[in-house]
Amino acid sequence: MFDWTSLASRALLLLILVYSSSFMFSSKKWSPKGLHVYITGGSQGLGLALAKLVARKGAHVSIVARTQSKLDDALKELEANRQSPDQVFKAFSFSLDTAKESAAALQAASDAHGGKVPDAVFACAGAAKPMYLLEMQPEDLSSGMTNGYWIQAWSAFAAAKQMVRENKKGKIVLVSSTLGYMSLIGYSSYSPAKHALRGLADSLHSELMLYGIDTHIFFPPTMYTPGFEEENKTKPAITRTIESADEGLTAEQAAAGLLSGVEKGHAHITADLITSLFRASTRGCAPRSNAALDFVLDLVALVGIPIWRRSVDKQVLAHRAEHREYLRTKGLVD
Amino acid sequence: MFDWTSLASRALLLLILVYSSSFMFSSKKWSPKGLHVYITGGSQGLGLALAKLVARKGAHVSIVARTQSKLDDALKELEANRQSPDQVFKAFSFSLDTAKESAAALQAASDAHGGKVPDAVFACAGAAKPMYLLEMQPEDLSSGMTNGYWIQAWSAFAAAKQMVRENKKGKIVLVSSTLGYMSLIGYSSYSPAKHALRGLADSLHSELMLYGIDTHIFFPPTMYTPGFEEENKTKPAITRTIESADEGLTAEQAAAGLLSGVEKGHAHITADLITSLFRASTRGCAPRSNAALDFVLDLVALVGIPIWRRSVDKQVLAHRAEHREYLRTKGLVD
């Protein structure tokens, strides 16, 4: 019995191998050396780590963030990573949460390079404010979308248009999250924004190939950054408990993973095992980076993720009485 | 050789069977009979088809939409599906695209039932306006999010809060799209919104189990509705070509698929084969409806979707010269 599965599995494996080999030999490595790399959220966390990394690789770097003092400090850190006197490092203070501000920031950085649009735009800006839906005002839900989606989408929008006008075969890189592939209690303002970024990236990937522009999207797990400390201030206790088993990345590890994925030309980039399992099992029609590996990850996810999910559901349900009491003390229920 | 795969596949199959059986025997069927069902977008298309369906099943129905004349016509259609003189059918004219309007609409419908929140809230309102990113103004991108996401998210937000306050173990049902699982050229304003709905649904599913509230999300393919005719007015030619092979559903077929999924308690609901393939291969940690079937769908998707994707990419790339010419005639490039 079960001989059909044996036969089917062999045939499938063969298919996968043949299929994946066609990917493995087609990669030309991209390098930021000598290029103008534009990084939003570049004054701290992932953005700053990435800025330093591409500076060490010989790129011209423009960083954008809101706070001038943080930008000044970041520029000093960039200088410490300078490889050549020719490299241009600039910082620009913009808020980025409207189309207008994002276009103006990109224009300012372009002006510093003879009016030419940057070669690569990394949208690393963003913030999360996890909390219970019951505690949210409508502004909490909408600012989740602004700080998780629009703050990046507007940069991609401005960059794509300008790249096409200049016939620049550039790169646009968005930064989602593990929570762009899945979600859990506490993230109803953040996870929709990170899912939306994935939808935008997949749309742009399909559309911008018309112009030779590459679109990438990165899905980092928990990163130990100033943003993480900020989001912990509002994070529900149950969410923190569920996440306590996660191994996060430092900003430097995440930046290295992101850049490596972009260099290899991966459309969806992950840098840790857990998110890679979600990537493989949430792939849809996203272009694959390594079909054979993704197949194995998908099988692991097939068995592992439902088990994980049940344990999370159990934890949530076990939290019910405590949660009712919490809502009562907050005056949210009678 | 390959004996390990044979062994592994047998072990895996056994696991899957054991695992899936635990789902198959746990389903109690939900029924709308005698319940108050609230349907946004209920004056036409999917929303109206669903309203008539639950009316035939004996529900009290409240429909919400913007245009009073369409609501009046829809009420007449509802009357034709009445099963008992006790059923209450009401229509409410609201725009739904702000938190305030959505909350007011829900309150109006609740007021008609002694101030009690509806037992089930189906957020069917929404619209798409597919177009090239290059042709968009910032307002096109942001109204994509309003008409694809907020118009549903605000109803879910208001309903969840009210259900918790009343300790109502109700149902919240969102309507995404196949484009909530994947995307392609032309949908950069719509697909992010539909992905965001999935993120919201998965967040709410995890969080609202604290209160015994069920969250469901439906992913319909192309539906032959007034909305479809509207979106075809701006849809790029290449998008239309790629989609020409799709088999869509009528509003009635989609409504039947949606209701059947809700009755069975499925978290992610699909009603056609193609979207089911995307569901299985974009499942992440979404609760499964049928693990064994989903496994088979995932394997089919594993081989089939990359092949489909390549053909789409080829079509997009072949369209390049024609597209440049189009942009030129529109004055968007020199």
Q: What's the token pair of residue A136?
A: 């949210």
Q: Per the CB < 8 Å rule, is A206 touching B195?
A: no
Please give the residue of chain B at the shortest CA–CA distance from A276. Answer: B284
One-character DSSP codes across B199-242:
HHHHHHHHHHGGGT-EEEEE----EESHHHHHHHTT--HHHHHH
Q: Per the CB < 8 Å rule, is B12 touching A323?
A: no
Q: Would you state the pLDDT for residue B149?
A: 98
The pLDDT of A92-99, averaged and rounded, is: 97
**Is residue A79 within 8 Å of A89, Cβ to Cβ?**
yes
**Is residue B71 within 8 Å of B46, Cβ to Cβ?**
no
**A–B CB contacts, 8 A cutoff, strictly below:** 252
Q: What's the token pair of residue B219?
A: 């992913």
Q: Per the CB < 8 Å rule, is A194 touching B198?
A: no
Which segments of B29-170 are extended strands (E)? 36-40, 60-65, 89-93, 120-123
- Tell me how far CA of residue A72 lies from CA of A63, A66, A90, A91, A105, in angstroms: 10, 11, 10, 8, 16
| Shortest distance, CA B65 to any CA of chain A (angstroms) | 21
Q: Of the candidates A9, A196, A320, which has its C-beta nearest B210's C-beta? A: A320
Q: A-chain residues within 8 Å CB-CB of B196?
A: 145, 149, 192-193, 195-196, 199
Q: Per the CB < 8 Å rule, is A181 touching B284?
A: yes
Q: Per the CB < 8 Å rule, is A207 touching B186?
A: yes
> How many CA atoms lie within 13 Å of A242's alpha carbon, on the beta-carbon side?
24
For β-strands B171-175 and B120-123, DSSP reports them as parallel
Q: In whole angstroms, give the CA distance from residue A21 to residue A280.
A: 18
| Shortest distance, CA A288 to any CA of chain B (angstroms) | 8
Catalytic, out of B132, B190, B235, B326: B190
Please give the residue of chain A at the shortest CA–CA distance from B207. Answer: A185
Short-list A273, A320, A245, A313, CA closest to B202: A313
Catalytic, out of B52, B90, B171, B194: B194
Model confidence pLDDT, tens digit, residues A8-51: 555 555 555 544 544 444 557 999 999 999 999 999 999 999 99
B185: left (phi over 0), alpha (psi -120 to 50) or beta: beta
The three-state DSSP-derived secondary structure of chain A is CCHHHHHHHHHHHHHHHHHHHHHHCCCCCCCCCCCEEEEECCCCHHHHHHHHHHHHCCCEEEEEECCHHHHHHHHHHHHCCCCCCCCCEEEEECCCCCHHHHHHHHHHHHHCCCCCCCCEEEECCCCCCCCCHHHCCHHHHHHHHHHHHHHHHHHHHHHHHHHHHCCCCCEEEEECCHHHCCCCCCCCCCHHHHHHHHHHHHHHHHHHHHHCCEEEEECCCCEECHHHHHHHCCCCHHHHHHHCCCCCEEHHHHHHHHHHHHHHCCCEECCCHHHHHHHHHCCCCCCCCCHHHHHHHHHHHHHHHHHHHHHHHHHHHHCHHHHHHHHHHCCCCC
- Tell me how far CA of residue A274 lies from CA of A297, A307, B279, in angstroms: 10, 13, 20
Model confidence pLDDT, tens digit, residues B250-261: 999 999 999 999
The pLDDT of A148-161, averaged and rounded, is: 98
Q: Per the CB < 8 Å rule, is B282 touching A283?
A: yes
Range of lowest pLDDT (A150-159, A226-235, B181-190, B308-317): A226-235
Q: Is the pLDDT assigned to residue A2 strictly greater than 80?
A: no
Chain B interface test: which of A283, A288, A334 (most B C-beta within 10 Å): A283
**Is residue B70 within 8 Å of B21, Cβ to Cβ?**
no
Q: In whole angstroms, give the CA distance from residue B332 to residue A164.
A: 9
Q: Is the pLDDT assigned to residue B13 strictly greater than 80?
A: no
Range of lowest pLDDT (A25-34, B85-94, B170-179, B237-246): A25-34
Please give the residue of chain B at the shortest CA–CA distance from A15. Answer: B303
Active-site residue flag, B149: no
Active-site residue flag, B194: yes
Q: Is the pLDDT assigned to residue B12 strictly greater than 80?
A: no
Q: A-chain residues within 8 Å CB-CB of B16?
A: 302
Q: A-chain residues within 8 Å CB-CB of B288?
A: 306
Model confidence pLDDT, tens digit, residues A277-332: 999 999 999 988 888 999 999 999 999 999 999 999 999 999 999 999 999 999 98
Q: Would you state the pLDDT for residue B287?
A: 87
| Shortest distance, CA B80 to any CA of chain A (angstroms) | 38
Q: Would you state the pLDDT for residue B291?
A: 87
- Tell me how far CA of residue A101 lies from CA of A64, A119, A306, B215, in angstroms: 11, 20, 43, 37
**Percent of chain B having pLDDT more than 90?**
83
Q: Is the pLDDT assigned to residue A236 strictly greater than 80?
A: yes
A299: left (phi over 0), alpha (psi -120 to 50) or beta: alpha
Interhelix angle B45-56/B251-264, rounded to 10 degrees, is 60
Model confidence pLDDT, tens digit, residues B131-150: 999 999 999 999 999 999 99
The pLDDT of B61-78, averaged and rounded, is: 98
Q: Of the candidates B13, B165, B196, which has its C-beta nearest A333's C-beta? A: B165
Model confidence pLDDT, tens digit, residues A253-271: 999 999 999 999 999 999 9
| Predicted-complex ipTM score | 0.92
Q: In whole angstroms, give the CA distance from residue B88 to residue B47.
A: 17
For residue B266, report the phi and psi dihedrals to the nearest 5 degrees: -70, 135
Q: Would you state the pLDDT for residue B152?
A: 98
Q: 3-state DSSP call for residue B119?
A: coil
| Shortest distance, CA B52 to any CA of chain A (angstroms) | 31
